Chain A
Amino acid sequence: MIELKNVSKIYGKKSSVFTALDDVGVSIADGASVAIIGKSGSGKSTLMHVMSGLDHATNGLVKVAGKDLNAMNQKTVDKFRNKQMGFIFQSFFIEANQSCIDNVSLPLEIAKVPIKKRKTLALEALKEVELSDKAESKARNLSGGQKQRLAIARAIVNKPKLIFADEPTGNLDSTTGEKIIQLLFGLNKTLGATLVMVTHDHDLAARCDAQIHVTDGKITKITGKGVK
């Protein structure tokens, strides 16, 4: 359960103040698939960052799985994010010079998981995204779709309760993008993880359980089920 109450995010000081989020409130049920939709600069990414603890809200309450992220110190938030969340980005953000298995292992490495267990879990995650055969190859040799699948494997390797995806298909052609979307929805169902996706693609948004529309830092409309 993600719960936001009266959340604001203000960038800059005094003369150059920019309000990215303006008194936002929303709650997302566990296991839902949610699209945050809006134009660029609308504040949709900021909303996701605040929900995931990547960014600190200026005001308000950000409650994730019963914990107030805004009240926790940076270290605890980092740890929380490491254990409970997975991230997928538009431009993959994988380390091209490292092997697929090393890429996938990163969150586990950060979580101090012993090396043997890391390997098992990473291979499991790679199997989930059908990249088992690429485990030892360098990430740079993968195609765009494979890279995003690798990123997904990395996002699910720690068995998170929440998966955040920022424009996951933005850098992919429609066929490859479709495969990624199907994979994400599939994982949402099989893992029971809440999927929060930032997109400006209305068709993609429509396939989620719920849609949060953001304009100029405000939530203008919430459609679908599981989100209030």
Chain B
Amino acid sequence: MKFFDLILRSGRTLKSAKVRTFLTAMAIGVGGFTLTLTLAAGNGVRDYTTKLISSNFDPAELIVGRDKEISNNGAPSDKPQEFDETVGTLQGGGGQNSFQVKRVTRADIDELKAQPNIEQVRENYQISIRYITREGQKRYTGGGQVFNPAQKPEVKSGVTPKTGDISNGSILLPDSYVELLGFKDAEDAIGKTVDITVQQPFSLASVQSLLQNQDPATLNAAAAEALKPKELTATYTIGAVTKKAATSLTFGVSPILLSTNDARSLYEFTAKGTPDFDKFLFVYARVVDGKDDAKLQAVRTDLEAKGFFVQSSKDIQKTITQFVNILQIMVGVLGLITLIASVFGVVNTQYISVLERTREIGLMKALGMSRKNISRLFILEAMWIGFMGGLVGIAGGTLLGVAINPWLTTKLDLGAGNSLLQFSLPQMLILLFSLMLVAAVAGLLPARKAAKLDPVEALRTE
């Protein structure tokens, strides 16, 4: 018998037991449905992660720290560390958790800057702004950060430089401030100025100046003055109004972005004299030709040998991807369990089919059909079941996915143009083929039974 005829014949036979075939196929369909959605979600999250990383990190930059927590993927260490001026305590989890981290110092930064393969070292200044305001408006809170060209903030109005820093004296203002500060719209804000005020906490310098004051008459007033926090107000021009990108890793209120120099001067004012001054959890080191992975890795190895702990954007992506993969495997296993259950369904259906069609098998054998072809006929039947189930499951999963994608995008705030479920045709075809293969394996045993039937015995069955 020709293989094509076998395929047709096996398909035709299934038509005579439509309900049974359909129900068995449905079991496979459920597995196919689950796996389709699992794969699609995996694709989507992986794609989203890539976007997230590429719009938040410069691939040529290394994140360099002094503590292994920087490159450690697990939970922070729970062991107390040996005292060192550079170890700082970080508070987290509502202040209930704290962990000690050895930080990068000015000396470390200078060492990094001295490396021939590092073209730029960017400190991760976090500036606590006391308030931002402009004439005739209320005062609002906020935070400041250094502009990072890799972060690609979504621009609502104005322009941001593609490479390099923004010019000194200008800032990128998050759009949430536009209305609060009394601008008509984002366009209106461009070129206008705002005042940013930062505060210097009680510092060593003021105590020192106080100690030099020997005049008891003015001491009290001077002490009161010295203990009062000092403020610095600087005026900046709005270069652009930014919108929080859907792929931004910033939580809460978006920070006001400043040039490196401006950020540095505000930072110095607010932090100088405190024990935390010029100590950073990590700094960004931009590697010459760092987009070339080999060069990036070379610098990384070099830095690690010097006792730094280094992470690249790829490591961060790997960490996230690993998490995604674990989730995907967990859901995928559920799909596989459904599939295993459906395998028994196929075995059962095919066994019944063999029993029911004993005479037909006997006849086909009497008419000269070989054992091999009888066996193939039943395996093909099982594969048809797998094909139909797979088709229904995959199509169902895809339809549902396409239908709920817009809803998921809004619900999960993924940003326009991003979908959680991404379907790939080659993947679906491979899945369909795999489901057929699984069904074929399930059909092996019944097919063997059919092939081994004695035609004389089979034809005697009334």
Q: Which residues of A contact B (CB under 8 A)?
A: 49, 52, 54-55, 74-75, 78-83, 87, 89, 91, 93, 95, 97-98, 102, 106-107, 109-112, 115, 154
Chain B 422-462 near chain A by CB (<8 Å), digits 1 or 0: 00000000000000000000000000000000011001001
- Taking a contact as CB atoms under 8 Å apart, the answer to whether B360 and A95 are in contact is yes
What are 11 sample pairs from A and B whose C-beta atoms fall under 8 A apart?
A: A52-B366, A54-B366, A81-B367, A83-B368, A93-B459, A97-B16, A98-B12, A102-B12, A106-B364, A110-B364, A110-B367
- Report Cα–Cα, A82/B365, bound state, in Å: 9
Which of B1-9, B86-94, B134-142, B317-325 sits within the interface?
A: B1-9
With an 8 A cutoff between CB atoms, is B207 at the interface?
A: no
- Report Cα–Cα, A206/B370, bound state, in Å: 37
Out of A82, A93, A109, which one reaches B363, CB within 8 Å? A93
Out of A55, A115, A154, which one reaches B456, CB within 8 Å? A55
Q: Which residue of A lies closest to B454 (CB)?
A: A55
Out of B362, B370, B456, B462, which one reaches A78, CB within 8 Å? B370
B50 to chain A, nearest CB (A): 52
- Report Cα–Cα, A82/B299, bound state, in Å: 76
- Taking a contact as CB atoms under 8 Å apart, the answer to whether A54 and B359 are in contact is no
With an 8 A cutoff between CB atoms, is B369 at the interface?
A: yes
- Taking a contact as CB atoms under 8 Å apart, the answer to whether B5 and A78 are in contact is no
Which residues of the other chain, A, contact B15 by a CB distance below 8 angstroms?
A: 97
- Report Cα–Cα, A137/B363, bound state, in Å: 21
B314 to chain A, nearest CB (A): 57
Ranked nearest first, the 5 interchain pairs of A and B with the lowest CB-CB distance are: A82-B368, A97-B16, A93-B363, A78-B368, A81-B368
Chain B 1-25 near chain A by CB (<8 Å), digits 1 or 0: 1100100010011011000000000
Which residues of the other chain, B, contact A154 by a CB distance below 8 angstroms?
A: 367
Chain B 185-210 near chain A by CB (<8 Å), digits 1 or 0: 00000000000000000000000000
A82, A83, A110, A112: most-surrounded residue (chain B CB, <10 A): A110
Which residues of the other chain, A, contact B365 by a CB distance below 8 angstroms?
A: 78
Chain B 165-183 near chain A by CB (<8 Å), digits 1 or 0: 0000000000000000000
- Taking a contact as CB atoms under 8 Å apart, the answer to whether B455 and A107 are in contact is no
- Taking a contact as CB atoms under 8 Å apart, the answer to whether B5 and A109 are in contact is yes
- Report Cα–Cα, A176/B224, bound state, in Å: 127
- Taking a contact as CB atoms under 8 Å apart, the answer to whether A79 and B368 are in contact is yes
- Taking a contact as CB atoms under 8 Å apart, the answer to whether A78 and B359 are in contact is no
With an 8 A cutoff between CB atoms, is B371 at the interface?
A: yes
A92 to chain B, nearest CB (A): 10
- Taking a contact as CB atoms under 8 Å apart, the answer to whether B370 and A87 are in contact is no
**Known A-B contacts A49-B456, A97-B16; A107 and B9 likewise in contact (beta carbons under 8 Å):** no
Out of B362, B369, B371, B455, which one reaches A110, CB within 8 Å? B369
- Taking a contact as CB atoms under 8 Å apart, the answer to whether B369 and A78 are in contact is yes
Q: Which of B47-68 contact A (CB under 8 A)?
A: none
Q: Which residues of B contact A (CB under 8 A)?
A: 1-2, 5, 9, 12-13, 15-16, 359-360, 362-371, 373, 455-456, 459, 462
**Known A-B contacts A55-B456, A109-B5; A87 and B364 likewise in contact (beta carbons under 8 Å):** no
- Report Cα–Cα, A98/B459, bound state, in Å: 19
Which residues of the other chain, A, contact B368 by a CB distance below 8 angstroms?
A: 78-83, 107, 110-111
Main secondary structure of the interface of A (DSSP, over half): helix
- Report Cα–Cα, A52/B459, bound state, in Å: 14
- Taking a contact as CB atoms under 8 Å apart, the answer to whether B459 and A89 are in contact is yes
- Taking a contact as CB atoms under 8 Å apart, the answer to whether A54 and B456 are in contact is yes
- Taking a contact as CB atoms under 8 Å apart, the answer to whether A75 and B366 are in contact is no
- Report Cα–Cα, A89/B364, bound state, in Å: 13
- Taking a contact as CB atoms under 8 Å apart, the answer to whether B366 and A112 are in contact is no
B86 to chain A, nearest CB (A): 83
Which residues of the other chain, A, contact B16 by a CB distance below 8 angstroms?
A: 97
**Known A-B contacts A95-B360, A97-B16; A106 and B367 likewise in contact (beta carbons under 8 Å):** yes
- Taking a contact as CB atoms under 8 Å apart, the answer to whether B1 and A112 are in contact is yes
Which residues of the other chain, A, contact B459 by a CB distance below 8 angstroms?
A: 54, 89, 93
- Report Cα–Cα, A91/B458, bound state, in Å: 13
- Report Cα–Cα, A154/B367, bound state, in Å: 10
- Report Cα–Cα, A91/B359, bound state, in Å: 10
Out of A52, A83, A102, A110, which one reaches B1, CB within 8 Å? A110
- Report Cα–Cα, A80/B367, bound state, in Å: 10
Which residues of the other chain, B, contact A93 by a CB distance below 8 angstroms?
A: 359-360, 362-363, 459
- Report Cα–Cα, A111/B367, bound state, in Å: 9
Q: Which residue of A lies closest to B17 (CB)?
A: A97
B460 to chain A, nearest CB (A): 8
B180 to chain A, nearest CB (A): 76
- Report Cα–Cα, A112/B363, bound state, in Å: 17
Which residues of the other chain, A, contact B2 by a CB distance below 8 angstroms?
A: 109, 112
B354 to chain A, nearest CB (A): 15
Which residues of the other chain, B, contact A83 by a CB distance below 8 angstroms?
A: 368
Which residues of the other chain, A, contact B367 by a CB distance below 8 angstroms?
A: 81-82, 87, 106-107, 110, 154
Other than A87-B366, A110-B367, give 18 A-B pairs with Cβ distance below 8 A: A54-B456, A74-B370, A74-B371, A79-B368, A79-B370, A80-B368, A82-B367, A93-B359, A97-B16, A102-B12, A106-B363, A106-B364, A107-B367, A109-B1, A109-B9, A110-B1, A112-B1, A154-B367
- Report Cα–Cα, A112/B371, bound state, in Å: 15
- Taking a contact as CB atoms under 8 Å apart, the answer to whether A81 and B366 are in contact is yes
Q: Which residue of B lies closest to A82 (CB)?
A: B368
B360, B366, B368, B371: most-surrounded residue (chain A CB, <10 A): B368
B371 to chain A, nearest CB (A): 7
- Report Cα–Cα, A98/B10, bound state, in Å: 12
- Report Cα–Cα, A24/B27, bound state, in Å: 55
B80 to chain A, nearest CB (A): 80
- Report Cα–Cα, A81/B370, bound state, in Å: 11
Which residues of the other chain, A, contact B12 by a CB distance below 8 angstroms?
A: 98, 102
